[in-house]
Amino acid sequence: MGGSREEGGGGINSCLGDDELRAVLWKVEDEKDKEAFGLVCKRWLRLQSSERRKLCARAGPHMLKRIAARFNRLRELHLSQSLSRSFYPGVTDSDLCVIADSFSALTLLNLHNCKGISFFLSLLIITEHCGINAGLRYGCWQIKEEGLELALVTCFVQCLPKILFYSSLQGRDICDASITDKGMTAIGSGLPSLQSLDVSYCRKLTDKGLSSVAKGCHDLRALHVAGCRFVTDILLTNISENCNNLEELGLQGCTNLTDSGLTVLVEGCKRLKHLDLNKCSNIGDIAISSIAKACSSLLTLKLLDCYQIGDDSILSLAKYCKNLETLIIGGCRDVSDESLKSLAAACCSSLKNLRMDWCLNVSDNSLECIFYLCRKLEVLDVGCCEEVTDAAFQGLGNEEDRKLNLKILRVSNCPKITVDGIRKLLKSCEGLEYLDVRSCPHVTELRCNEAGLQFPGGCKVNYAGSLAEPDVLR
């Protein structure tokens, strides 16, 4: 294609206007092809940038301003961090102020795990920017385990002046490189169209900053604050009063929440479909019963290690939430067979994922009922349910009306299950993809081979913990 790179010369550019080119771009589905679209000429790059809706990027005020200028119709911005994807100094309040000022149409902001600079990241900064000699740099990381902590501390103390000097040159405070309530206040006042916010494990956040988001973002549909340990019932009250369209709420590990706070929450948020209360150890049957009554459209409820939960909660779910698809009650040791049978009967056409490991009162009685009624069940975890035996599988068979859709099953630490029970299971589960039989003394690889068990093609059997667990079991 001859002519100027600015407009691409003649040919297609002289025939098609911007609207026609945008229509062509919208027809392109593959992300790599969309990127290639912008390589044709500057005009196509400008159009491609203006139509981009989603972006994963690193933080930094200068970069964010450039992103805002180029991608002026951006709707989703992902700045989440992880061990494999982190950067100095991480996301800060300054970045959030730029986002609030520059991305007024943003509907989704992902700040998952943006918890600021850590001790070990400080040491990484030393090696990258502070001119530490190679012997010290690599020596610190090759020290034997018992001397690692002392070596790292010594290195950090020796190089602290260099760290502070470098951070001052960058205009950053290394001791305060994290997201705080100040940044959340900016988000609440600057992004009124925000519908989804994930600040999981941003550990400095409190009710004050997050309540500003609730008050300023009335159309919020999804909020994740897992690991924000300072969150209390005050936030739930503000969400209830301001975010009536909320459908998804993640509160994992927020241990200050109580039954009262959750009861107030659902007075205003009756559209909740997905609720994560894993490790919220202060909630009990009162909260779950209130949630069940108010949120009949609930699809997912996670209650891992909520040890105060008992049969009353499960019975309320069975009565009001008949479309429940995922229920996690691992560690809820007061839950018994009778309530689980009621749940199986009520949610037989919807239940797909049921995790009840360490529910010590669960036995063959409820499990046989679940297998018989819940034909759409795909994931089941009864690990450490020591009363479960081969009898739980006795109603299964290879007849069409008895086949299951089960794909993932964990029966680890169930000492009464034998190869005979697994054989019955396999007759009914042709699509099984993962089976965990760790610490089942009667179900070993040798015994399964001797019994001639035929597992479905591609099925992974975890005999000794050598296989990674599926994400759904984590």
The pLDDT value recorded for residue 85 is: 56
User: How far apart are alpha carbons 29 and 281 in whole angstroms?
Assistant: 45
> 152 exposed, middle or buried (CB, 10 Å; 0-12, 13-18, 19+)?
middle
The pLDDT value recorded for residue 171 is 45
% of the chain residues with pLDDT over 70: 81
**Mean pLDDT over residues 68-82, rounded?**
85
Mean pLDDT computed over 292-320: 98
Rounded distance between C-alpha atoms, residue 370 and residue 111, angstroms:
39
Check residue 162 and give its pLDDT: 53
Dig out the tokens for 393 from the structure: 């599988």
Residue 472: pLDDT over 60: yes
Output the six-digit token pair for 418.
Answer: 């034998």
Strand duo 300-302 + 326-328: pairing? parallel
Residue 145 has pLDDT above 80, yes or no: no
What confidence score (pLDDT) does residue 336 get? Answer: 97
Residue 465 has pLDDT above 50, yes or no: yes
Give the lowest-confidence range in 133-142, 197-206, 228-237, 432-441: 133-142
Does the structure show a pLDDT above 60 at 84? no
Radius of gyration of the chain (CA): 27
Q: What is the pLDDT of residue 262?
A: 98
Question: How much is the average pLDDT of 58-69?
Answer: 83
* pLDDT bucket at 56, cuts 50 / 70 / 90: confident
Q: What is each CA distance from 69 to 41, 102, 300, in whole angstroms?
A: 18, 8, 39
Q: Residue 156 above 90 pLDDT?
A: no
**CA pair distance 167, 157, nearest whole angstrom:** 16
pLDDT tens profile 391-433:
999 888 767 667 899 999 999 999 999 999 999 999 999 999 9
What was the pLDDT predicted at 45?
Answer: 73
pLDDT tens readout for residues 94-142 = 999 999 999 989 999 999 988 665 444 445 544 554 444 433 433 343 3
Question: Which range is most confident: 8-17, 34-43, 376-385?
Answer: 376-385
Per residue in 282-298, pLDDT tens? Answer: 999 999 999 999 999 99
- Alpha carbon distance 365, 215 (integer Å): 48
The chain-wide mean pLDDT, for the chain, equals 85
Lowest mean pLDDT segment, chosen from 3-17, 233-247, 440-454? 3-17
Task: Write the DSSP assignment of 360-382 as a string of letters.
Answer: TB--HHHHHHHHHH-TT--EEE-
